Chains A and B, each alone.
Chain A
């Protein structure tokens, strides 16, 4: 592994996370869209929403992560891809807006009819976005994106057999991943009916995805020879093989109701396809451009690598916390605040009548002196410091007095 390959590895890992987690979100939208009408349908839609709602934003950041790493570390390749494939990428972007709008709207909807209208209107994006992104990937994988600003064909670069295959496969695997996850969630919540419904859906979607993938091999053979050879005979074989094993294992696990384990095998099945694609295509990034040629200078690669590793050290514990909370339910509920409210007024509040306003005014005057009168850069930094100190000091002093946290003795009896 060379330094110039590291950021691409990070981007591919990010893409795998996005395909699994973002895919689960879009797949949930697919099941909302196809739920039909009636009470059962409403429970399916609500379950899909409840499971994904708290995590969908984090799941979508993976896409932004992929974009930013690629444009920083492989700028020429990024510019070529984004300009030639501008139509599918724009369609995907519009779909993402709709998906987010649905989440925003759902927060305020109250009647079942409103919920259904929102879900069906916006769930269309759940097909649009994965298809468009898959079609774009198909264009890259079948070497239809030349180097240059919009140098490729704006239509045939993503409307071709390989793109259609990857696009349809993306929609199907999204539905499959979502069904597996939602089935596991339902089982965890003890929702027997929902568990049964999503189990059926997971098995069906798994079979359909597998069938599309197998049929796809024939498509690749006629349309994307290099990719086909890489996947079937070259280094990509490992990925393809791993995906078949993990996909079959998922079906078996779902069949035998081992849902928690099936989450991970389903994710591996999808991630292995991405790994297989990367291995099959390596070291070529775009036609006539290897990964090495596409890579930015050494300082940039080092900076990206350090930033990603440092970021990951914060990111993964945080993600674990989020998923643990969402999947596990509680984190230390039961401690009540009202039983042990603060006994004393805060220091700031106690200072408020006399000292704080004077302190605030002193900070403000110092701020003007350093920021406005003085000219040196260090003075400006001090000036900003004093002005922020002014805001912090003046805030408790400037709030109307009846809004400050009063001594608890009076307040808790009035309103407790």
Chain B
């Protein structure tokens, strides 16, 4: 396609970022929530204890509402592939599109079986109902697999040749699934799904406990997601470190932006906090040689700086760096919170009792969403100015159509309405009274 001029490239990028930021937390629930609900239902099948059935049914309603929001926000993303980035899709749709086409079927399976699962609580035998939930959990995984295969390709494009600006000799399967850059992203995101879902659900019951709602029902509803999230968050630290090494190997400029490394150097340090200006980090706390050690397992290794590419091929360093540090900071906090939980679990054989733990937990859910979005800002803004890394600039991908500011403002308002609607419905569902037998069943 011929190149066009677009005055509102930044707004188009922000509109895309807004759409992702709204959709990705919902994706986490698509990845992890079905498994949690199914686990609770499995407990019911094993024990016949009505408490588990009640919990699974109430969570199913939450899942239904969030899935509806996920469906529509996901639809918007697929529209935006054409509405905002038609030149990207026109040039490379034949390479990456297959990932979304397969994802479409995952989405189908999710939508069909979530319909069966929600509708089937009273209409299927208990075992058939449990079985109908399993495809939802599987589709949540395959869906994120195919979408992330596309993101992996955008960060590490392979499987085609360029001839006169056109993709020729295209091998989409190899481009998407034979791509070495994709597995670490997938594992990182899949764990993030469990961490965000686990902490957000636990947050809801932690707030309840701080307000005095604390029976066996609430303890169960808190402990299951909390345990999952607390196990995943230390593992995420290790996986995050692995991601960093992969970035160092394939996208050194992105790594340099993470750390604000202006010049290529040996024994590169890490700076905690601070502000990147004129090729160096000011007011940061330096930790000598740590970047070399983390990126290459060698404290004396040479790390490429931003200076290896011209200025117009560098990402906006401070955006990337602050997002990266926020993600790492929150991730560390969540990992520590997980360890505190396990310490209490081991020493006292029960949930922690300090209100401070529950206050921290009340923050953990929202913070995990912040970390999630910061992680995606890190990788997506860190790839700039490229939409397809070192192949196509974002500026060359954008639509030539006018009216982006109007679309952006409209979408922001619509998403605000959607957010209010989802908040209203979740409050409603949370306030629906429990069966009195469960409330009084057991008070510690």
Query: Which residues in chain B, 232-280, are within 8 Å of chain A measured between CB atoms?
Result: 232, 235, 238-239, 241-242
What per-residue 1/0 map shows which CB atoms of B379-405 lie under 8 Å from chain A?
A: 000000000000000000001111100
B48 within 8 A of A: yes
Report the bound CA distance from A73 to B297 in whole Å.
44
Interface check A96, CB cutoff 8 A = yes
Is B75 a contact partner of A341 (Cβ separation < 8 A)?
Answer: no
Contact of B235 among A89, A99, A377, A391 (CB under 8 A): A391
B51 at the interface (CB under 8 A from A): yes
CA distance A331 to B235 in the complex (A): 41
Query: Given A64-B107, A84-B401, A303-B172, do A97 and B220 touch, yes or no (CB 8 Å)?
Result: no
On whether the beta carbons of A94 and B410 are closer than 8 Å, the reply is yes
CB contact under 8 A between A337 and B48, given known A61-B108, A415-B441: yes
Which A-chain residue is minimally distant from B171 (CB atoms)? A299
| B86 & A68 in contact (Cβ 8 Å cutoff) | no
Closest to A87 in B: B403
Nearest CB of chain B from residue A144's CB, rounded to whole Å: 14
Contact with A along B389-429 (1 / 0, CB 8 A): 00000000001111100010011001101100110111011
A398 close to B230 (CB less than 8 A):
yes
Question: In the complex the two chains form, is A107's CB within 8 Å of B123's CB?
Answer: no
Interface of chain B, main secondary structure: helix
Q: A64-B107, A297-B169, A307-B102 are in contact. Are A108 and B428 (CB under 8 A)?
A: yes
Q: What are the interface flags for A363-386 relative to B under an 8 Å C-beta threshold, 1 for contact and 0 otherwise?
A: 010011001100101001101100
Contacts of A148 in B (CB 8 A): 1-2
A288 interface residue, CB < 8 Å from B? no
B213 at the interface (CB under 8 A from A): no
Q: Once the chains are docked, how many angstroms separate the CA of A160 from the CA of B425?
A: 41
Is A55 an interface residue when CB atoms closer than 8 A count as contact? yes
Most chain B beta carbons < 10 A, residue from A79, A311, A395: A79
Contact of A67 with B79 at beta-carbon distance under 8 Å, contacts A341-B46, A341-B47, A398-B230 already known: yes
Closest Cβ of chain A: how far from B236's Cβ, in Å? 9
B101 touches A415 (CB 8 A): no
What residues of chain B lie closer than 8 Å to A73, measured between beta carbons? 94, 97
Contact, CB under 8 Å: A78 / B116? no
Q: Are B94 and A403 in contact (CB under 8 A)?
A: no
A2 part of interface (Cβ distance < 8 Å):
no
The reply on B366 being an interface residue by CB < 8 A is: no
Given contacts A58-B111, A64-B74, A398-B231, is CB(A150)–CB(B125) below 8 Å?
Answer: no
Decide yes or no whether B114 CB sits under 8 A from chain A.
yes
Q: How large is the interface on B (under 10, 10 to 19, 20 to 34, 35 or more residues)?
A: 35 or more
Contact A90 to B235, CB < 8 A, known contacts A61-B111, A299-B170, A333-B125: no
Query: Given the interface contacts A61-B108, A80-B90, A372-B238, does A400 sit within 8 Å of B345 by beta carbon?
Result: yes
Indicate if the CB atoms of B46 and A405 lie closer than 8 Å. yes
Q: CA separation between A408 and B45, bound complex, in Å?
A: 11
State A181–B254 Cα separation when bound (angstroms).
Answer: 54
Docked Cα-Cα span, A308 to B115, in Å, equals 22
- In the complex, the answer to whether B115 meets A322 with C-beta atoms within 8 Å is yes
Residue numbers in B under 8 Å from A308 (CB-CB): 101
Size bracket of the A interface:
35 or more
In the complex, what residues of B have CB within 8 A of residue A67's CB?
78-79, 81-82
Question: Cβ of B72 and Cβ of A82 under 8 Å apart?
Answer: no
Interface residue? A229 (CB, 8 A):
no
Contacts of A300 in B (CB 8 A): 94-95, 97-98, 170, 172
Query: A100-B68, A149-B400, A384-B239 given as contacts; is B429 within 8 A of A108 (CB)?
Result: yes
B231 touches A311 (CB 8 A): no
Note all chain A residues with C-beta closer than 8 A to B79.
67, 82, 89-90, 92-93
Contacts of B82 in A (CB 8 A): 67, 71, 78-79, 81-83, 86, 89
| Chain B positions near chain A (C-beta within 8 angstroms) | 1-4, 43-51, 61, 64-69, 71-76, 78-79, 81-83, 86-87, 89-95, 97-98, 100-105, 107-109, 111-116, 118-120, 122-128, 135, 168-173, 180, 183-184, 187, 219-220, 223-224, 227-228, 230-232, 235, 238-239, 241-242, 297, 342, 345, 349-351, 399-403, 407, 410-411, 414-415, 417-418, 421-422, 424-426, 428-429, 441
